[in-house]
């Protein structure tokens, strides 16, 4: 249903570093960077050869609403690796990896806070 998602961030370079560092285990990488002064727009992709489906662009210095975005993980090990990368980089972990049976059996996820205050989830449904 969703083709792509774009969010505005206070610092595109810092946000791109957050997402590529914390979500490397699910294959998230920068695919394209388009200069748009005074910053740039970054398109990210999480599948080899895919089109950018997650975009970062320059926004206001402070966000007033929380966005929630969930990325698919191939397995629980990838969810755990995202958690380890986030902890290693000093990023805020909202909820450590665990099963969330209130959503459905097999829902295993980690929740992070990105640098703009957004709720970033990495989940596997098995």
**Span 18-40, mean pLDDT?**
95
One CATH from 3.90.79.10, 3.10.180.10, 3.40.50.620, 3.30.70.930 for 5-125: 3.10.180.10
Per DSSP, the residues of 89-104 read: HTPEEEEEEEE-TTT-
pLDDT digits (tens, 9 = 90+) for 69-81: 999 999 999 999 9
How far apart, in whole angstroms, are the C-alpha atoms of residue 63 and residue 75? 32
- List the alpha helices (DSSP H) in the chain: 12-22, 76-89
pLDDT digits (tens, 9 = 90+) for 95-110: 999 999 999 999 999 9
Q: List the Cα angle 52/41/36 in 5-degree steps.
A: 145
pTM reported for the whole predicted model: 0.92
Contact 89, 107 (CB under 8 A): no
């Amino acid at each position: 249903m969703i083709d792509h998602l774009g969010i505005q961030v206070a610092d595109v370079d810092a946000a791109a570093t957050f997402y590529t560092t914390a979500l490397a285990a699910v294959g998230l990488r920068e695919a394209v960077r388009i200069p748009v002064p005074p910053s740039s727009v970054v398109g990210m992709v999480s599948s080899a050869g895919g089109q950018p489906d997650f975009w970062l662009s320059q926004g206001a210095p402070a966000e007033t609403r929380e966005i929630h975005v969930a990325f698919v993980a191939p397995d629980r090990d990838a969810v755990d690796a995202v958690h380890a990368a986030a902890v290693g980089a000093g990023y805020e972990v909202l909820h450590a990896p665990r099963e969330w049976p209130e959503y459905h059996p097999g829902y295993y996820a980690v929740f992070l806070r990105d640098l703009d205050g957004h709720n970033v989830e990495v989940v596997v449904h098995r």
